[in-house]
Structures are given as C-alpha cells and as structure tokens.
Homo-oligomer: A and B are copies of this chain.
C-alpha cells in the first residue's frame, strides 16, 4: 500500500543517504521542520517543537559524520516523542498542561537511548489526557474529520505526515496500534517489560508498554533495537537478552510463515472492510507459500475485556488519587469515569484479574507451538469520527497478555482510509515476530509492485 501521499521516506532509506553523504542531518531535519510548518496548524500533532534543539543536534551529528563517527541507523533521523515521555528541558504535560508544565529534568531512558543511537529529538507529540480515551485536538491527515486514534495521536500523525521519520508511543489498551493503523503507518507494541518505563508517566503499570511508530516494519526494528533492553533505572524491566531485531530481517532469513488466524467471536468484532482486507492479505500470503491455520482462543479470553478494564481503572485511580481529589475539575470525562470506577474496585477482585492475566499469558504461549504468529485486523475498521479515539478491541488483548505485536497498513477502505494487519508473537520472541511481519509486508509490496 502506498504511504500517505507525498510521504515515502523511510528511516532505512534516509539512513543510507546520510551515511553515504547524499544528504546531511541538517537537511533531513529541516525537511521535517518544513513539513511541520506546512501542516501543523491543521493537524495539531505536537505540543512543542524544539526547532533550535533539533537543528543543534543535527549540526553536531553532521560533524560526527564528517569525522566518520557514525552512531548507527538512527544517526540524524528526526524522531517525535509522545508527551507522556520525558525529554530533558521540555515539559511533559501528559495531555494536561493545567497541572503539568514543568520541564523534565532528564530524559526518559528510551529517549536517552535514542539520542545515544544518533536520533534527533524534534519535540513532543500530542497525547490524549493522561494517555486515556478523551480525544485530543489532533486530526487524521487522511481525513480531517476522522480521529487519528489515541492515545499516541500525535506520534502517529507526525509519522504519517512527514513531520518526523519515527516516533515513540505507549500502549495500555490500543494506544500504539490503533493510531498507527488509522493514520496508515506501522506500530510495534513490544513484549511487556522489554522496554523501560523509566521517565514515562504511567496510566496502568501492569498494562503500560512503550513502543515505536514508523513507516515500515524495518523502521520499527531499527527503533526497537535502540530502545529495548534492561534498564537499571526500571528494575522491573525484563532482563532478557535484548533481541537483535534488525539483524533478523535479512532477506535470506525470511520464509513463508505458519500463521494462526483468530476465528470466532473475537474476529467477528471487525467490520466488513477490515475483514475483507484481512482475507485479501491472507490470500496473497498463501499464494506466496504461507500456511494459514484457524486458531481457537483459550476460554480465558471471555473475561479479558472486563479484567483489562478493571486493572486499568484500579491502577489509574491509585496513581491519580491525590491529584484527582485536589484537581478533579481538570480531568476529562473518560479518564474521570475510569478513575471513579477504579475507586470502587476491591483488592481481591484486582488480584483475581492479575491472576487471570498471568494465566492467560501462560496459556497463550502454547498457541505458538503450532504457528509462528497470530494474525488479526489491526483495528475493528477504519478511523471513525472525532467523537472517539476508536475501538481498541483488537489491541487490548495483547496489552493485557503482554504478547508483542507488529502492525502495518495493508489496504484502503472503500472511503479511502487505511486498514492494517496485526501480527502477534510469542513473549520475548521479537526477532521471530519481526521476521514474520517483514515477510508479510514484503510479500504485499511485491504483489503491489507487480500490479
């Protein structure tokens, strides 16, 4: 599928051009700043654009390149950061500037890692208030009357509209995959705790996942490689060996996968357009040698949505309690309702849901004995209107169970809005997951190139 009209550059391509001296970091950054100048007034993707800072970073990175000191694939690549993630010197408003306007004193670990990998931090992208469900001012570049999705609204829009080449988002329900899909770009929600949460405002820590948004699976891999891995400042981050995802994507290592299709009541949550796009993609995969098996979800799936909501409510309520009691009036309706719900949850119910969560996570590992990955629509349909941030039903199961996902655009709906495919992998097996996703994406691209 073509990316958003006029926006075709990838991190991979730009990185090559920078490394081989065809472009400079300053040029690449200026192109993004120009895109921001051109469209920010109508899209509202940013809370702050650090023009001077971005230019200064780019200049310094050009000097490094001149001295043949290449920091890696992100060297000179402009990146946006969701505004619940700390960037030193810029405020972290978490979508609530009334209460939070102090500049962050230091970078979140994942921002520091991006910088160390050579990224240019362009600024902070709009989040819904406290990363919950209340629509922000941000518009979908494909249709200004549609939601860009949430809560990583600005990150998805900025990537889709050429304002940066990649962005950081976070997902507690469907906050990476959904906006990425609605905006026609790719998203990755990594395995729970593969990526440090240090310096990230929590919504519900047992469900919170930072992850990248970019234009292709390869670009997601480059970003994930930079941010993943144990962080001493977040002792609950996983001590797994960090996957080398990009290295796993060499053409020669990609094989037609065995895909598990989640039939039944779960898949039926999708609208017709999303199901048709899925069917069409699966047919192309099969034609290229993939196997597609029907997979039954475990019984635990039934109470998943109720438990997911209960964990999110209780944890959000606990986190916000003091501030909510003092400044309840500034809370938007959806987050307010969530917090009030959370005050009514008993610890025994909460603990029961945590147990359900960990049982489901365990049960789901068994699915991967027979398939390489699961596939389902990335969202229930194309972006709805701006009264909502859309339905996270295809995303929250993975936020809840912690399994890693990759999504990317596969088709346009009849009204010309992007639809995506979501691929779900085994815990901490990001290298395998990305191999499957890259094979699927390249198969569709080859198909398109031939037609």
Contacts and interface: CB of A to CB of B under 8 A. Distances in A.
Main SS at interface, chain A: helix
Contact of A314 (B238, B317, B347): B347
Contacts of A343: 346, 348
Contacts of A348: 314, 317-318, 321, 342-343, 345
Nearest to A310: B347
A97 interface: no
A349 B317 CA distance: 10
A51 interface: no
A351 B315 contact: yes
A427 interface: yes
A66 interface: no
Interface string A313-349: 0110111010000000000000000000011011111
A106 to B, nearest CB: 16
Contact of A347 (B350, B355, B361, B428): B350
A236 interface: yes
Given A314-B351, A351-B350, A352-B318, A235 B345 contact: no
A303 interface: no
Contacts of A347: 310, 314, 317-318, 342, 345-347, 349-350
Q: Most chain-B Cβ atoms within 10 A of its Cβ — which of A239, A342, A347, A427?
A: A347
A101 interface: no
Contacts of A105: none
A365 interface: yes
A170 B205 CA distance: 28
B236 A239 contact: no
A364 B355 CA distance: 27
Contact of A236 (B321, B346, B358): B358
A235 B427 contact: yes
A232 interface: yes
A342 to B, nearest CB: 6
A362 interface: yes
Contacts of A350: 314, 318, 347, 350-351
A352 B351 CA distance: 13
A189 B321 CA distance: 35
A240 interface: yes
Nearest to A339: B348
A239 B428 contact: yes
A404 B90 CA distance: 39
Given A319-B351, A347-B347, 20 more contacts: A232-B365, A233-B362, A235-B358, A235-B361, A239-B240, A239-B428, A314-B347, A314-B350, A317-B347, A317-B348, A318-B347, A318-B348, A318-B349, A318-B355, A342-B348, A343-B348, A345-B346, A345-B347, A347-B350, A350-B351
20 contacts: A235-B361, A236-B358, A314-B347, A314-B350, A317-B348, A318-B349, A318-B350, A318-B352, A318-B355, A319-B351, A319-B355, A321-B348, A343-B346, A345-B346, A345-B348, A346-B347, A347-B347, A347-B349, A350-B350, A350-B351
